[in-house]
């Protein structure tokens, strides 16, 4: 999960891009007030487009991987399933990549062990000292496909969707 900030000086042309609070682009004085700032986040090309819509009024558009941000979020919603879990003394963001069945905890890929069970599969992993698994089984509906449920220390965790 990344926080992208953009600062635009509408009289000086100043442009600053920050990702997770770290400044990655800075132009203090630019004669051209409109244009594009291109940068990468986790090896994905991103761009902020600045367009004039009226006298001293600007519109900003973020594209991620060549797609408008809204379209990118929609694509991520289909490809990922995300849970926020409180594990012991820490909060964890657990993300299942549905097409590869890779599991990421707080942005790092974790080692997993898969197991076939009577009504689907279980993918086992650990978060600290917590024993976790994601149970995948058929929804019984062709247009829905597989249903994924996260269990931490034997307790079902509710899904919050992508974020």
Structural domain boundaries in the chain: 4-65, 79-157
Looking at residue 26, its pLDDT comes to 96
Class of domain 79-157: mainly beta
What was the pLDDT predicted at 117? 94
Which pLDDT value is given to residue 61? 97
pTM above 0.85, yes or no: no
Cα separation, 98 vs 110, in Å, equals 15
pLDDT reported for residue 12: 85
pLDDT of residue 160: 59
Whole-number pLDDT of residue 131: 94
Asked if the domains 4-65 and 79-157 are classified in one and the same CATH topology, the answer is yes
CATH for 4-65, options being 1.10.40.30, 2.40.128.180, 3.40.50.300, 2.40.50.140: 2.40.128.180
Q: Which residues of the chain are modeled with pLDDT < 70?
A: 159-163
């Amino acid at each position: 999960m990344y926080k992208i900030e953009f600062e635009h000086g509408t009289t000086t042309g100043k442009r600053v891009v920050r990702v997770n609070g770290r400044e990655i682009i800075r132009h203090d004085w630019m004669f051209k007030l409109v244009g594009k700032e291109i940068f990468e986040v986790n090896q994905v090309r991103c761009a902020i487009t600045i367009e004039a819509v009226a006298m001293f009024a600007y519109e900003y558009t973020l594209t991620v991987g060549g797609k408008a941000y809204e379209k990118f979020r929609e694509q991520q919603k289909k490809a990922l399933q995300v849970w926020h879990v409180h594990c012991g003394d820490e909060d964890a963001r657990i993300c299942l990549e549905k097409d590869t069945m890779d599991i990421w905890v707080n942005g790092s890929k974790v080692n997993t062990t898969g197991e076939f069970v009577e009504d689907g599969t279980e993918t086992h992993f650990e978060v600290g000292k917590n024993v976790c698994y994601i149970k995948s089984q058929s929804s019984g509906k062709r247009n829905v496909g597989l249903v994924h449920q996260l269990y931490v220390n034997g307790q079902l965790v509710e899904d919050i969707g992508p974020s």
